[in-house]
C-alpha cells in the first residue's frame, strides 16, 4: 500500500511513516473522496442556482405571492447549499481547497441574509412559513434549521481560552467568586435549621427501627412455615403442577412484553435499546475529528511556510527574467505610440495602476458585467468568482498523486508569480518613467515644458480639494490608558461579565406546523421556538462570527428579545456569546446603578465599554429589563437607581457603529408595554417575540430535560400527557420541576419504581403559568410597533407599498415635530 501511494506522488513529496498511518486512519473513516464528491455536487448546484437567480429576478412581477414563492425557494435552496458547504469545509484537509470553500461559504451566508431581508420587507414580518415549498422540494422542516459554522470558534480557540484565563484571574484577584454568583446560598434561621436536623434524624431512626422489626417478623414467619410444612404431607405432583402454572404465566407475560416492545420499536414509537448510550462508532468518530483537526492545522502551517519559501525561490530564479520582460514590453509600447501618434505617450500614474493598465485588455463578458446593474446583491459576485475559480482549477484536476491532501506547489507558484510581477512592476515603472523622461528630453523638447506646467496646476488643484475634505477626529477620552487596564477596570466594576457556556442547540424547540394554515385564515400565529432560534442565528451569530458577512450583509446593530419570564431570553444572549466567542458587557439599569456618577462619568463609562468592545470584537452589549431605560413613568422605588440614564445616549451610540464594528446591542424585556414605544423602537432595529412553547416543543422539552437530569423514560411515563397538561408553562418552569423531582435518591430508585407523570404534575401545580391574556398583551404590543403596524395594514386590505409609504410619512411628521420642539 505504501509503495502504491509513493509511486503516485511527485518526487519531492513523501509521506512519513508516522503521518502515513494517521492519514490511512483518516481516509478509511472520514472518506475524503466522499467529501470531495459532495463538494463537486454542491458547487454544481450552486452554479445552477446562480444561473437561474438573475433570470427569475429580472422578470417584472406584480403578484406578491409569486414573488414570495420565488424568494423563499431561493432561500431554502441556499440554506441546503450552506449546510453541505459547511460540512465539507469542516471535513476537508486540503488547505487551498479550504480557502476557496471558505470564500464561497461566506458568500452563501451573506446571500441568505439578503434574501431574508427581502422577504421581511415583502411580507412585513420576521417569521415566514414554507410548508408548501418544503412539500414541493420534498424536504423535512428540520432541514430548514440553520447550523452555526464550526470555524467561528475553531479559528480563535486559543484567543478565547487566553481571554477566559485573564478574566478568571482578574475576578480571583478582585475577590469576586463566580461560583457564588451562579449558585447563591440562601440563609436560614437557627430554629428552622435545628428543626430540619431533628426531622432528618428522626426519619433515620425510624428507618432503622422498621428494618429491625422486619427482620424479626421474617424470622418468626419462617419458624411457623417450617412447623406447618413438617406436619403436612404434600403431593409432589400437585406441587409440580402449581410451580409449572406460575412459571408459564411469568414466562408468557415476559414474552408478550418483549413482543410488544419490539413492535413499538419497529413502528418508531419507542427508542431502540441502548439508544442513549454512546456507541463505539461515535467514540471513534470523535477521535477521527480530533485527528482531522490536527491534520488541518499541520497542512495550514505547511501551506503558510510554503507561501514564503516558494515566493523567495521564484524571486531568485525568475525575478530578473520578469524584470527584463516587463521592460521590453514597455519599450515596445513607447515605440508603437511614437510610430502611430508621432509623440511619446504619458506614463500612467501610480494611482491609476502604473504600466499594468496599459496591458489589461477587457473581455466582452467584463464589459457586459459593468453595464448590467440588475441586482443590488454584494455577495453574488463573490459566489460567481468562487464558482469560476472552482471550474478553472478544481473541477477536472487530477489529484491521484496527492493522497495526503497537502498543498499544491504549482498553484502557489502561479499565485506568487502574479504578486512578484506586481512588486517588480513598481520598480520597473520608476525606471521606465525616468527613461521616458530622457527620451522626451532628447526628442520632444518643444512639447515637454507646457505639459509639465499643466500637470503642476492639476496637482495643486487636487491638494486644495484634499485640504477641504479633512475632518476633525473624535476625542479619545482614554488616550493615555491601555486596553488591558480598561479591560481590568470594566471587569472589576462588573460591566464586563463572563458568559455562561450555553450552546444554541440547548434552546430546544420544534417547527410550527400550523403557521401557513392560520395565515390563510388571516390569523397571525405566534412564532415557534425553532423560528426564534433561526432568527438568533441569522441576526446575531452569523454577522458576529464572520467579518466578511458583517461588512456587506444588511447591517443589524441592535436586537430586542421580548417575551414572558422563563422563555429563555437570557439563555439566548449567553448562547450568542458562546457560539461566537464574543465578550459580554452588561449595561442593565440595575447593574450600572451607582457606577460612574454624573454626566462625565456616564460618558467615560460608555467610551470605555465601546472602545474595549471594538478592540476585542466580536462583542455583545446586553441590557436586561431594557424597558426600564425607556420608562413612561419611573416608579418611586426605582428613582434612586436612575434607570433612564442611557435613554439619550443609545441612539447616538448606534449612529457611531460602523459595518467594521462587530458589536451587537441586545435588549431583553418581559414588560415591553411599560416603555415609551417610539424611542424604544428607534433604538432596537429588530424585535423578536419569544413565545411560550407549544405542544410539539413541550413534548420534546420534557423528554430531553428529563434525560439530561438523569431520568429514564419508560412506558410508565406518559410524556404526551405531560405536554398536554402543562400548556402555558414555560421552559423555566419545566426545568425547575424536573430538577425538583429528580433528586439523587429518586434517580437511584428508578430501577424499582419508574417515573410517572403524576410526580411532575404534582410539582408544577404550585407554579403560575403564562395565561392567554398575557400572551395576547404581547401580540397587541407588537402590533403597535412599526413593522407590526405595516403588517396589520397589509392584512386588512392595504398593500405593502401603502404600508411602507404610511410608515415613512409618520416618521417624517415625527422628525418635523421634534425639530419644532
For cell 500500500, the residue is 1
Do 512 and 525 contact (CB within 8 A), yes or no?
yes
Q: Is residue 544 part of a domain?
A: yes
Q: What percentage of the chain reaches a pLDDT higher than 70? A: 83
**232 vs 295, residue with greater confidence:** 295
pLDDT at 199: 92
| Range from 74-78, 117-121, 379-383, 790-794 carrying the lowest mean pLDDT | 790-794
Q: For residue 516, give the CATH number of its domain.
A: 3.40.50.300
The number of C-alpha atoms within 13 Å of 561 and in the hemisphere containing its C-beta is 32
| pTM for the whole structure | 0.77
Top-confidence residue, 655 or 359 = 655
Instruction: Output 353 or 593, whichever has higher pLDDT.
Output: 593
Q: What is the CATH number of the domain that holds 743?
A: 1.10.8.60
CA distance 397 to 503: 39
Which of 692, 708, 729 lies at the terminal end of a domain, its last residue? 692
496-497 and 663-669 beta bridge pairing: unpaired
- Which DSSP string corresponds to 22-43? HHHHHHHHH-HHHHHHHHHHHH
Number of Cβ within a 10 Å radius of residue 733: 22
Residue scoring higher pLDDT (810 or 405): 405
Residue 452 pLDDT: 45
pLDDT at 311 over 50: yes
Looking at the fold, whether 704 and 756 belong to one and the same domain comes out as: yes
- Whether residues 699 and 608 fall in one domain: no
When comparing pLDDT for 809 and 639, which is higher?
639
Q: What is the Cα–Cα distance from 310 to 270, expressed in whole angstroms? A: 60
Percentage above 90 pLDDT, the chain: 22
Q: Which residues are CB-contacts of 145 (< 8 A; sequence separation ≥ 6)?
A: 530, 533, 534
Same domain, 680 and 706: no
In this model, does residue 665 exceed pLDDT 90?
Answer: yes
743 with 807, same domain: the answer is no
Residue 58 has pLDDT above 70, yes or no: no
At 444 the pLDDT is 55
Which of 692, 725, 742 is where one domain is finished? 692
Q: How many domains does the chain have?
A: 3
Domain match, 603 and 653 both: yes
In terms of domains, do 784 and 678 share one?
no
Nearest to 617 by CA among 583, 586, 667, 579: 583
Q: Is 90 exceeded by the pLDDT of residue 29? A: no
Count of other CB atoms within 10 angstroms of residue 540: 28
In this structure, is residue 703 part of a structural domain?
yes
pLDDT tens-digit map of 695-744: 989 999 999 999 888 888 888 888 999 999 999 899 999 999 999 999 98
Range of 740's domain?
695-769
Are 659 and 550 contacting, i.e. CB atoms less than 8 angstroms apart? Answer: yes
Strand positions, DSSP E, 599-650? 619-624
- Residue 446 in this model has a pLDDT that exceeds 70: no
Return the axis-axis angle of helices 17-30 and 32-58, rounded to nearest 10°: 50
Neighbours of 110 (CB within 10 A): 26
Output 510 or 271, whichever has higher pLDDT.
510
C-alpha cell of 142? 428540520
Asked whether residue 704 falls in the same domain as residue 688, the answer is no
Looking at the structure, tell me whether residues 653 and 749 fall in a common domain: no
Do 615 and 707 belong together in one domain? no
Question: How confident is the model at residue 730, as a pLDDT?
Answer: 92
- E strand or H helix at 559: strand 558-562
Asked whether the predicted pLDDT for residue 604 surpasses 80, the reply is: yes
Last residue of a domain, one of 653, 677, 692: 692
Secondary structure of 222-291 in HEC code, one letter for each residue: HHHHHHHHHHCCCCHHHHHHHHHHHHHHHHHHHHHHHHHHHHHHHHCCCCCCCCCCCCHHHHHHHHHHHH
The answer to whether position 618 is within a domain reads: yes
pLDDT of residue 574: 94
User: Does the residue 389 lie in any domain?
Assistant: no
| 234-243, 355-364, 368-377, 590-599: least confidently modelled range | 368-377
The verdict on residue 746 lying in a domain is yes
Specify whether 760 is located in the same domain as 656: no
What would the grid cell of residue 664 be?
A: 451587537
CB 113 within 8 A of CB 501: no
Q: Quick check: is 687 in a domain?
A: yes
Mean pLDDT computed over every residue of the chain? 80
Same domain? 547 vs 682: yes
Using the predicted structure, report yes or no on whether residue 561 has a pLDDT greater than 90: yes
Q: What is the mean pLDDT of residues 650-669?
A: 91
pLDDT at 28: 39
Q: Check residue 185 and give its pLDDT.
A: 54
The answer as to whether 114 is a domain residue is no
| 618 and 564, same domain (yes or no) | yes
pLDDT in tens, 676-703: 888 888 999 999 999 999 898 999 999 9
Query: Could you give the angle at the alpha carbon of 250 between the alpha carbons of 247 and 256, nearest 5°?
Result: 135
Residue 568 makes CB contacts below 8 A (sequence gap 6+) with 507, 690, 730, 731, 732
Residue 380 lies in a domain: no
Residue 302: what pLDDT? 86
Amino acid at each position: 500500500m505504501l509503495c502504491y501511494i509513493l509511486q503516485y506522488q511527485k518526487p519531492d513529496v513523501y509521506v512519513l511513516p508516522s503521518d502515513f498511518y494517521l492519514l490511512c486512519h483518516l481516509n478509511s473513516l472520514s472518506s475524503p473522496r466522499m467529501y470531495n464528491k459532495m463538494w463537486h455536487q454542491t458547487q454544481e448546484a450552486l452554479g445552477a442556482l446562480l444561473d437561474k437567480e438573475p433570470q427569475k429576478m429580472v422578470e417584472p412581477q406584480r403578484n406578491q405571492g409569486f414573488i414570495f414563492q420565488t424568494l423563499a425557494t431561493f432561500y431554502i435552496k441556499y440554506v441546503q447549499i450552506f449546510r453541505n458547504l459547511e460540512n465539507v469545509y469542516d471535513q476537508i484537509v486540503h488547505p487551498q481547497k479550504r480557502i476557496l470553500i471558505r470564500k464561497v461559504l461566506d458568500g452563501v451566508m451573506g446571500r441568505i441574509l439578503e434574501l431574508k431581508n427581502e422577504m421581511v420587507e415583502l411580507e412585513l414580518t420576521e417569521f415566514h412559513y414554507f410548508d408548501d415549498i418544503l412539500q414541493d422540494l420534498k424536504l423535512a422542516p428540520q432541514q430548514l434549521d440553520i447550523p452555526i459554522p464550526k470555524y467561528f470558534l475553531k479559528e480563535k480557540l486559543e484567543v478565547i481560552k487566553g481571554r477566559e484565563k485573564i478574566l478568571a484571574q482578574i475576578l480571583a484577584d478582585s475577590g469576586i467568586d463566580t461560583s457564588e454568583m451562579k449558585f447563591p446560598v440562601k440563609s436560614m434561621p437557627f430554629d428552622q435549621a435545628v428543626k430540619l436536623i431533628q426531622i432528618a434524624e428522626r426519619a433515620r431512626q425510624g428507618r432503622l427501627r422498621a428494618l429491625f422489626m422486619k427482620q424479626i417478623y421474617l424470622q418468626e414467619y419462617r419458624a411457623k412455615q417450617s412447623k406447618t410444612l413438617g406436619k403436612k404431607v404434600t403431593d409432589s405432583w400437585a406441587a409440580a403442577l402449581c410451580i409449572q402454572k406460575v412459571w408459564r404465566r411469568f414466562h408468557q407475560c415476559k414474552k408478550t412484553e418483549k413482543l410488544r416492545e419490539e413492535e413499538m420499536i419497529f413502528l418508531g414509537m419507542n427508542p431502540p435499546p441502548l439508544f442513549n448510550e454512546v456507541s463505539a462508532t461515535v467514540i471513534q468518530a470523535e477521535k477521527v475529528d480530533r485527528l482531522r483537526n490536527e491534520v488541518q492545522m499541520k497542512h495550514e502551517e505547511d501551506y503558510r511556510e510554503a507561501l514564503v519559501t516558494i515566493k523567495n525561490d521564484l524571486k531568485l530564479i525568475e525575478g530578473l527574467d520578469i524584470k527584463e520582460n516587463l521592460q521590453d514590453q514597455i519599450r515596445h509600447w513607447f515605440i508603437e505610440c511614437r510610430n502611430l501618434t508621432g509623440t511619446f505617450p504619458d506614463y500612467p500614474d501610480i494611482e491609476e495602476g502604473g504600466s499594468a493598465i496599459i496591458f489589461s485588455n477587457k473581455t466582452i463578458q467584463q464589459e457586459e458585467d459593468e453595464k448590467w446593474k440588475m441586482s443590488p446583491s454584494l455577495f453574488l459576485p463573490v459566489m460567481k468568482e468562487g464558482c469560476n475559480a472552482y471550474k478553472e482549477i478544481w473541477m477536472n484536476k487530477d489529484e491521484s498523486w496527492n493522497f495526503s491532501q497537502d498543498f499544491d506547489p504549482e498553484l502557489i507558484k502561479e499565485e506568487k508569480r502574479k504578486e512578484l510581477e506586481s512588486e517588480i512592476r513598481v520598480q520597473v515603472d520608476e525606471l521606465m518613467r525616468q527613461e521616458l523622461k530622457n527620451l522626451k528630453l532628447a526628442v520632444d523638447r518643444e512639447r515637454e515644458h507646457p505639459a509639465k506646467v499643466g500637470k503642476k496646476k492639476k496637482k495643486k488643484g487636487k491638494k486644495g480639494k484634499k485640504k477641504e475634505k479633512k475632518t476633525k477626529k473624535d476625542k479619545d477620552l482614554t488616550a493615555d490608558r491601555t486596553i488591558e487596564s480598561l479591560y481590568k477596570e470594566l471587569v472589576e466594576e462588573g460591566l464586563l461579565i463572563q458568559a455562561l457556556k450555553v450552546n444554541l442547540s440547548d434552546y430546544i424547540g420544534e417547527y410550527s406546523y400550523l403557521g401557513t394554515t392560520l395565515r390563510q385564515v388571516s390569523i397571525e400565529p405566534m412564532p415557534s421556538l425553532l423560528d426564534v432560534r433561526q432568527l438568533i442565528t441569522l441576526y446575531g451569530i452569523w454577522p458576529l462570527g464572520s467579518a466578511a458577512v458583517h461588512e456587506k450583509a444588511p447591517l443589524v446593530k441592535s436586537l430586542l428579545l421580548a417575551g414572558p419570564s422563563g422563555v429563555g431570553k437570557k439563555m439566548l444572549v449567553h448562547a450568542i456569546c458562546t457560539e461566537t466567542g464574543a465578550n459580554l458587557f452588561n449595561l442593565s439599569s440595575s447593574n450600572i446603578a451607582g457606577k460612574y456618577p454624573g454626566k462625565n462619568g456616564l460618558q467615560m463609562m460608555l467610551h470605555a465599554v465601546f472602545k474595549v468592545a471594538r478592540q476585542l470584537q466580536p462583542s455583545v452589549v446586553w441590557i436586561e429589563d431594557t424597558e426600564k431605560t425607556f420608562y413612561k413613568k419611573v416608579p418611586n422605588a426605582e428613582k434612586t437607581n436612575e434607570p433612564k440614564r442611557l435613554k439619550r445616549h443609545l441612539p447616538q451610540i448606534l449612529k457611531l457603529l460602523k459595518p467594521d464594528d462587530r458589536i451587537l446591542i441586545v435588549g431583553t424585556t418581559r414588560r415591553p408595554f411599560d416603555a415609551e414605544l417610539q424611542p424604544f423602537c428607534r433604538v432596537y432595529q429588530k424585535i423578536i417575540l419569544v413565545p411560550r412553547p407549544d405542544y410539539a416543543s413541550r413534548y420534546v422539552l420534557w423528554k430531553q430535560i428529563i434525560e439530561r437530569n438523569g431520568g429514564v423514560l419508560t412506558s410508565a411515563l406518559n410524556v404526551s400527557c405531560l405536554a398536554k397538561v402543562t400548556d402555558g408553562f414555560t421552559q423555566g418552569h419545566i426545568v425547575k420541576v424536573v430538577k425538583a423531582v429528580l433528586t439523587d435518591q429518586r434517580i437511584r430508585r428508578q430501577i424499582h419504581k419508574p417515573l410517572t407523570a403524576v410526580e411532575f404534575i404534582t410539582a408544577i401545580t404550585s407554579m403560575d403559568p403564562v395565561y392567554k391574556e398575557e400572551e395576547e398583551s404581547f401580540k397587541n404590543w407588537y402590533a403597535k410597533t412599526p413593522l407590526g403596524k405595516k403588517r396589520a395594514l397589509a392584512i386588512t386590505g392595504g398593500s405593502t407599498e401603502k404600508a411602507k409609504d404610511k410608515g415613512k410619512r409618520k416618521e417624517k411628521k415625527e422628525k418635523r415635530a421634534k425639530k419644532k420642539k
